[in-house]
Structure 1
Amino acid sequence: MTVIASTPGGWMAAEMAEQPERVRAALAGVREQGGVLAPLVASAREVLVLGRGSSRSAGTYAAEALRTFAGVPASTTSPAHLAWSQQRRLDGTLVVAISQSGESTEIIAAARRALELGANLVAVTNSPASELAGLAGPRQTIHFRAGNEIAVPATKSFTSSLACLLGLAMAHTPTGLVDAEAELPQLMAELLADPDATFTLDGTTDIACAGEGFAEAVGEEGAIKLRETLRIPVASFETSEFLHGSINSVRPRSTLVTVDADPSGRSLAEQAAVGAASRGAATVSIGASATSSAGRHIRIPQVPSHWVPFLAVLPIQRAAREAAIARGEDPDRPPGLSKITRIATGPA
């Protein structure tokens, strides 16, 4: 433990390595809650998903999974707006509040306001004794089961939260979770053990990450990891939105990272890689295709599209850690950041 603590990025590396078993535990745990969760989702008129930082990226995944598997309108929403500006009643709405610590002031205020406006609440957290979990109650709290996470950048807590949110979306079809529990952890372990499943960011001054569909959450989370650890500008986009005009922002010394989860996303990623390269940017692609027009292609196994984020985020985590160390930074403790974010409360 002393060696880990004294080595820059040691905690982040150790926590990344835990992810396969943490995801397995999270999938097993949420599957056991299916009898409670399925009726909540089935009876919802709409689902609003709350999160900040990596939990917001997980929320993007949750909304896609809920729309796809539960057939319910689902979207992410601003916790600050819900907490301090929301006026319409939320009867029939299921609010899913995601927070690793369960103590974020903004998320707690939003969850409390949602209950006041008549919403049902599910808390998804790594801290089942937290204030957020107390608002939802034990039956409607889903535990990440990620264990204590010391490095500030979320790694195991992010992928464990994805497992919980997939379980919520598929609560009515638990056989899909059984398959994920049986296969995903091993695929993750194999990718983590592959020394080539990473990329370098030498000379990069700014980065864009892009993904479509289930891969959009990876683009968002990858951008967060890279911003936190490298402290340089990193943007995230839906790939189609990037192609709409923002592609013109890349230039020499920029890097574009694309992630694809399905054939449509793959076609968009190819277009983005070609367009970015023509403007002088370095390009990295992550996906299951055998080849890519990107300058660096990291191939992941061919899996269902909703499994892709569990795998595709791993090379980005590794690249963020390695690039930070190469730049003389300690990715475990980025200056100016802490594990729990508390913002000032809004207007009374």
Structure 2
Amino acid sequence: MTLELGKIMRAEIEEVPTVFQRIKDHSAEMAEQISSLDLASIDSVILVGRGTSDNAALYLKYLIETKIGIPCGLASPSVVTVYGTKLRYKNVLVIALSQSGQSPDLVGYCAAAREGGAIVLAMTNDPESPLAKTSHCHLYLHAGPEKAVAATKSYSAELLVSKILVAKWKGEGVEFDQIIAQAELGLLQMPFIQTVSESFDYSEGLTTMGRGFAYANAHEAALKIQETVKIPVASFSSADYLHGPISSLHSNSRVLFLAPAGVAQSSMAPTVARIRDITKHIYWIGSGFPRENGETYLGGSVGLPETDAVIADSVLLQSFALFLAISSGKDPDAPIGLAKVTKTL
């Protein structure tokens, strides 16, 4: 029976390169949709999402702030749905990310933002969803039906569609073929990741960590493990971690670093050095930081810029969560207490 655990989730992770190819095939259409928006008038951006999509929004936030150079924040939908605030969003672009496009708080927030003068763009996996219909522009994720409760291919799709959006806005291209090729290579790491997972001891705590563009994957790795393995996992920026949380680290703690190709090593080095002084149980996803003997490398894309490596490496963190759940005897396809579509107010 154990062999059947995670069958759906695994198949959906393995589908990610195919999803990327579908997105590439429709990228010209997406670019045309993006061109229809008056992005030249935009002074700031607000991102709105929940769960996995909120993590993807962290990646989009870094893209917008580094490539476009304007402020980009994360929305608190309850200011509208709970507190009834009237928004004043002149020259603001609101971008909503959601697999289902069904959650009432996201729909309500975007409707209020549009009424308040914002341009609203939505990325969902359902063109007929309420969120898609609330937006001025809808970018379809092309992920296909996602049946496992823990989102995988839709998260990876949100990363790539975010890349397309900002590349078009900036007037740059997207290296689809390289991203697809590296994601395919990442899937070849599954047997090794499964072996590591079978002996992985999380009883003394697990922390995931990244910085910059990889901050999104650090949060998503923690969420995927929380959802499927049902254990608490802490997730931090490697900079924030030095401002207090490192005090909880001890010699038996496990740390998973997300360090994609191209990451700014100097920005992570102080945190890595401090952690190495405390625990030897260090794991890596991403090829962007030098590893020491005894540390475990789960894989990572090579030859890509940091922005693209984060996208390709998403299959690795998903695989790690998958096999951790299976090794603990849990079914990641349908974690007890979770539903595929969560609707919050």
Distance change (3 Å), C-alpha of 1:281 and 1:81: farther
Tell me the equivalent position of 1:318.
Answer: 319
Judge conservation of contact 1:35–1:171 (CA < 8 Å) in 2.
no
Tell me the equivalent position of 2:14.
Answer: 17
Stretch of structure 1 that moved more, 159-168 or 263-272:
263-272
Letter of the 1:339 counterpart:
K
Instruction: Let me know the Cα RMSD of the aligned residues.
Output: 2.3
Q: Superposed, which structure 2 residues align to 1:67-146 within 5 Å?
A: 67-85=65-83, 86-137=85-136, 140-146=137-143
- 1:67-110 CA distance string (max 9 Å, x none): 22233321222222344444441111110011100101221121
Which residue of 135, 140, 160 maps to 1:163?
160
Query: 1:173 Cα shift?
Result: 5.0
Q: Superposed, which structure 2 residues align to 1:3-14 within 5 Å?
A: 7-14=4-11
Answering whether residue 59 of structure 2 is matched by residue 61 of structure 1, we say: yes
User: Given the two structures, how large is their TM-score scaled by the length of structure 1?
Assistant: 0.89
Tell me the equivalent position of 2:281.
Answer: 282
Answering whether residue 335 of structure 2 is matched by residue 342 of structure 1, we say: no
Judge conservation of contact 1:256–1:273 (CA < 8 Å) in 2.
no
Judge conservation of contact 1:27–1:167 (CA < 8 Å) in 2.
no
2: CA distance between counterparts of 1:286 and 1:302? 15
Answering whether residue 291 of structure 2 is matched by residue 296 of structure 1, we say: no
2: CA distance between counterparts of 1:11 and 1:264? 32
1: CA distance between counterparts of 2:252 and 2:80? 39
2: CA distance between counterparts of 1:197 and 1:230? 15
Judge conservation of contact 1:204–1:253 (CA < 8 Å) in 2.
no
Stretch of structure 1 that moved more, 109-118 or 285-294:
285-294
Tell me the equivalent position of 2:186.
Answer: 191
Query: 1:17 Cα shift?
Result: 0.5
Judge conservation of contact 1:31–1:174 (CA < 8 Å) in 2.
no
Query: 1:143 Cα shift?
Result: 0.4
Judge conservation of contact 2:6–2:322 (CA < 8 Å) in 1.
yes
Question: SS of the counterpart of 2:168?
Answer: coil
Letter of the 2:60 counterpart:
A
1: CA distance between counterparts of 2:53 and 2:288? 28
Tell me the equivalent position of 1:37.
Answer: 34
Unaligned runs of 5+ in 1: none
- 1:119-175 CA distance string (max 9 Å, x none): 1110110010101111115xx000000000011111100001111111111113565
Question: SS of the counterpart of 1:49?
Answer: strand
Distance change (3 Å), C-alpha of 1:290 and 1:271: closer
2: CA distance between counterparts of 1:291 and 1:106? 43
Query: 1:330 Cα shift?
Result: 0.2
Q: Percent identity?
A: 28
Letter of the 1:93 counterpart:
V
Judge conservation of contact 2:228–2:322 (CA < 8 Å) in 1.
yes
Q: Superposed, which structure 2 residues align to 1:114-263 within 5 Å?
A: 114-137=113-136, 140-173=137-170, 175-177=172-174, 179=175, 181-194=176-189, 195-196=191-192, 199-200=196-197, 202-205=200-203, 206-261=205-260
Judge conservation of contact 1:57–1:218 (CA < 8 Å) in 2.
yes
Query: 1:263 Cα shift?
Result: 6.0
Question: SS of the counterpart of 1:336?
Answer: coil
Distance change (3 Å), C-alpha of 1:268 and 1:283: farther
Stretch of structure 1 that moved more, 232-241 or 271-280:
271-280
The structure 1 segments of at least 4 consecutive aligned residues displaced by more than 6 Å after TM superposition are none
Unaligned runs of 5+ in 2: none
